[in-house]
């Protein structure tokens, strides 16, 4: 998006690096995407949750994990005036679970289904599809360890993308097993790298040792070369995890959702176990991941709650919008239903018409200065008005109003009492 800084003569301001202004025509696309999400999740029995923009930093350290890049390098943290150490939320799961526990949303034997929209803040290197303030739509299904819950969550994501018209998506599926299997597997990675690791910078060595799984999706070719021949994490799964995974596969097939098993999907946050998945779109380029999620059966206990299985996903809204644009969905231009053209003599009637039309659910504007008709028609054109209604002394005295349909260069004469219904029945789009 081109950035036009505001020049006040002495100082030029721009949105902070890695953030975006959403301008009106793009905002309409956001709203379409958000509405589709609400609709799909509402239909699946999910309720909305809204959590604060910032939380105690410890919440993220304890949940996403000290070794995840998101926590170790990318958090926007600060001390407030009461010297509390806080962080702008880098993701939505930990805050949702914190709220779930704080407000005792759990009902014995019941499943809790939550959805949310949230900004997320990560100090990343910005590029197309990767921002420092991004936005996610997400869901969390809390209270079931059934493979059917994993499939419900994956299906919810797929149905959402279908609802916004995205096709050619790939569901990448993997299992990273349980903690014990992962500890064994991590040791396998470290053994494989035993001669390479000591030559690396101390910080990389420490990070690798804390969580060797992070190395698997590293883009560094020297790491990848060292890892050649390493069996996949999938091959180290315990029987229970493998059985769970196979059931997920069967249920996905039954739901008609195609997927690709990808052993390199290990996810960037520490709380996952067993099923993990991402949905990718080829339309996105380098930042190809539209959405990511998985099962996190240990997180609720880690945050002080009872052992409770859970599964969820987060979907990047900027990426959904970019993918839609690449798929050919046009940006909608901002428009108005009716431009009311008046004269200084008919000022109060012009205002009354604008008010009446707006109250009738039509969008309407007018020229505050009531300049000559030619200038008002130019304004109407720039505002992309569908109709222009002329409110002159003649129309007022006869009670018959001229209405121009701009796209058709046509003019109709409509009696006062029929104007609103005439316009309502001809406006081209539904109310937004
Ligand atoms: P995540 O994979 O870190 O997972 O993020 C989910 C999605 O958010 C990504 O696939 C991407 O579309 C979008 N996203 C993340 N970071 C950025 C960024 N810097 N710029 C633009 N888009 C971004 C989570 O956050 C987990 N909380 C998901 C989850 C929910 N797992 C279980 N429940």
Residues 227 and 256 in one domain: no
Residues 250 and 301 in one domain: yes
Residues 243 and 157 in one domain: yes
Contact by Cβ (8 Å): 66, 210: yes
Query: What percent of the chain stands above pLDDT 90?
Result: 72
> What's the pLDDT at 176?
93
Contact by Cβ (8 Å): 308, 111: no
Grouping H, G, I as helix, E, B as strand and the rest as coil, residue 11 is coil
pLDDT tens, residue by residue, 20-60? 999 988 998 999 999 999 999 999 999 999 999 999 999 99
- pLDDT mean across residues, the chain: 92
Residues 212 and 261 in one domain: no
Going from the Cα of 89 to the center of ligand 1, the distance in angstroms, rounded, reads 12
> What's the pLDDT at 10?
67
Residues 302 and 360 in one domain: no
pLDDT tens, residue by residue, 314-340? 999 999 999 999 988 887 788 999 999
Q: Which residues pair with 118 in a beta bridge?
A: 136
Going from the Cα of 280 to the center of ligand 1, the distance in angstroms, rounded, reads 12
> What's the pLDDT at 64?
85
Residues 230 and 250 in one domain: no
Query: What separation in angstroms does the CA of 355 have from each of 335, 349, 383?
Result: 18, 10, 18
Does residue 10 belong to any structural domain of this protein? no
Contact by Cβ (8 Å): 64, 242: no
User: What are the structure tokens assigned to 255, written together?
Assistant: 């739901």
Residues 399 and 271 in one domain: no
Q: Is the CB of 91 under 6 A from ligand 1?
A: yes
Residues 278 and 371 in one domain: no
pLDDT higher than 80, residue 226: yes
Grouping H, G, I as helix, E, B as strand and the rest as coil, residue 229 is coil
Query: Of the ranges 149-158, 191-200, 343-352, which one carries the lowest mean pLDDT score?
Result: 191-200
Residues 153 and 257 in one domain: yes
Helix extents (H) in 193-231: 202-210, 221-227
- Best CA proximity match to 162, nearest among 279, 314, 287, 313: 279
In this prediction, residues 296-310 reach a mean pLDDT of 96
Count of domains for the chain? 3
Residues 44 and 163 in one domain: yes
Q: Is the CB of 74 under 6 A from ligand 1?
A: no
Going from the Cα of 317 to the center of ligand 1, the distance in angstroms, rounded, reads 10
Does residue 3 belong to any structural domain of this protein? no
In this prediction the pTM is: 0.88
pLDDT confidence tier of residue 4, bands split at 50, 70 and 90: low
Contact by Cβ (8 Å): 62, 302: yes
Going from the Cα of 136 to the center of ligand 1, the distance in angstroms, rounded, reads 7
Residues 127 and 256 in one domain: yes
In this prediction, residues 239-248 reach a mean pLDDT of 96
Contact by Cβ (8 Å): 165, 324: yes
User: What are the structure tokens assigned to 230, written together?
Assistant: 């390493």
pLDDT tens, residue by residue, 58-116? 999 999 887 788 888 899 999 999 999 999 999 999 999 999 999 999 988 899 999 99
> What's the pLDDT at 432?
39
Does residue 145 belong to any structural domain of this protein? yes
Residues 90 and 129 in one domain: yes
Does residue 404 belong to any structural domain of this protein? yes
Going from the Cα of 26 to the center of ligand 1, the distance in angstroms, rounded, reads 21
Q: Which DSSP state fits 112?
A: E
> 408 or 65: which carries more pLDDT confidence?
408
> What's the pLDDT at 199?
82
Does residue 191 belong to any structural domain of this protein? yes
pLDDT higher than 50, residue 431: no
Domain of residue 37: give its range: 15-178+238-326
Among the three residues 298, 326, 354, which one is the final residue of a domain in this structure?
326
pLDDT confidence tier of residue 218, bands split at 50, 70 and 90: confident
> 182 or 172: which carries more pLDDT confidence?
172
In this prediction, residues 423-428 reach a mean pLDDT of 92
pLDDT higher than 60, residue 6: no
Among the three residues 237, 253, 280, which one is the final residue of a domain in this structure?
237
pLDDT higher than 60, residue 183: yes
Does residue 80 belong to any structural domain of this protein? yes
Q: Which residues pair with 277 in a beta bridge?
A: 173, 293
CATH of residue 408's domain is: 3.40.50.800
Atom of ligand 1 nearest to the CA of 315: 7
Report the nearest-CA residue for atom 11 of ligand 1. 316
CATH of residue 85's domain is: 3.30.930.10
pLDDT confidence tier of residue 346, bands split at 50, 70 and 90: very high
Does residue 1 belong to any structural domain of this protein? no
pLDDT confidence tier of residue 283, bands split at 50, 70 and 90: confident
User: CB-based burial of residue 431 (10 Å sphere; 0-12 exposed, 13-18 middle, 19+ buried)?
Assistant: exposed
Atom of ligand 1 nearest to the CA of 279: 10
Cα separation, 135 vs 121, whole angstroms: 9
Q: Is the CB of 319 under 6 A from ligand 1?
A: yes
Does residue 331 belong to any structural domain of this protein? no
Report the nearest-CA residue for atom 1 of ligand 1. 292
pLDDT confidence tier of residue 385, bands split at 50, 70 and 90: very high
In this prediction, residues 124-142 reach a mean pLDDT of 96
Among the three residues 237, 261, 279, which one is the final residue of a domain in this structure?
237
Going from the Cα of 327 to the center of ligand 1, the distance in angstroms, rounded, reads 21
Q: How far is CA 227 from the centre of its chain?
A: 34
């Amino acid at each position: 998006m081109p950035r036009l800084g505001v020049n006040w003569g002495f100082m030029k301001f721009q949105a902070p690096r890695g953030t975006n202004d959403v301008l009106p025509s793009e905002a309409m696309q956001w709203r379409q995407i958000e509405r589709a999400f609400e609709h799909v999740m509402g239909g699946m029995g999910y309720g909305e949750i809204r959590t604060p923009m910032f939380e105690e930093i410890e919440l993220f350290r304890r949940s996403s994990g000290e070794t995840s890049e998101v926590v170790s390098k990318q958090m926007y943290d600060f001390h407030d005036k009461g010297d509390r150490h806080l962080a702008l939320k880098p993701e939505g799961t930990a805050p949702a679970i914190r709220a779930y526990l704080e407000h005792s949303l759990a009902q014995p034997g019941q499943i809790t289904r939550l959805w949310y929209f949230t900004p997320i803040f990560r100090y990343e290197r910005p590029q197309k599809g990767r921002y420092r303030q991004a936005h996610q739509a997400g869901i969390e299904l809390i209270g079931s360890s059934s493979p059917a819950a994993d499939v419900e969550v994956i299906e919810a994501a797929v149905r959402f993308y279908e609802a916004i018209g995205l096709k050619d998506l790939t569901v990448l599926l993997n299992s990273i097993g349980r903690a014990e299997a992962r500890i064994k597997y991590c040791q396998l990675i470290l053994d494989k790298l035993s001669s390479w690791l000591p030559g690396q910078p101390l910080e990389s060595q420490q990070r690798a040792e804390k969580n060797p799984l992070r190395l698997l999706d590293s883009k560094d070719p020297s790491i990848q070369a060292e890892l050649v021949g390493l069996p996949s994490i999938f091959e180290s799964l315990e029987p229970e995890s493998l059985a769970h995974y196979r059931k997920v596969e069967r249920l996905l097939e039954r739901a008609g959702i195609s997927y690709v098993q990808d052993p390199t999907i290990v996810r960037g946050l520490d709380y996952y176990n067993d099923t993990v998945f991402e949905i990718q779109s080829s339309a996105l380029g380098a930042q190809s991941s539209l959405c990511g999620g998985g099962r996190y059966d240990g997180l609720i206990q880690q945050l002080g709650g009872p052992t409770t299985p859970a599964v969820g996903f987060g979907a990047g809204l900027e990426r959904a919008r970019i993918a839609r644009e690449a798929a050919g969905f046009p940006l909608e231009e901002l428009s108005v239903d009716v431009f009311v053209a008046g004269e200084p003599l008919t000022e109060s009637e012009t205002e009354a018409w604008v008010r009446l039309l707006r109250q009738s659910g039509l969008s309407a504007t007018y020229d505050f200065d009531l300049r000559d008709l030619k200038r008002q028609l130019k304004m109407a054109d720039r505002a992309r008005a569908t109709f222009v209604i002329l409110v002159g002394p003649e129309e007022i005295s006869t009670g018959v109003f001229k209405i121009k349909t701009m796209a058709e260069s046509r003019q109709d004469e409509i009696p006062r009492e029929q104007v609103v219904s005439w316009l309502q029945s001809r406006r081209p789009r539904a109310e937004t």
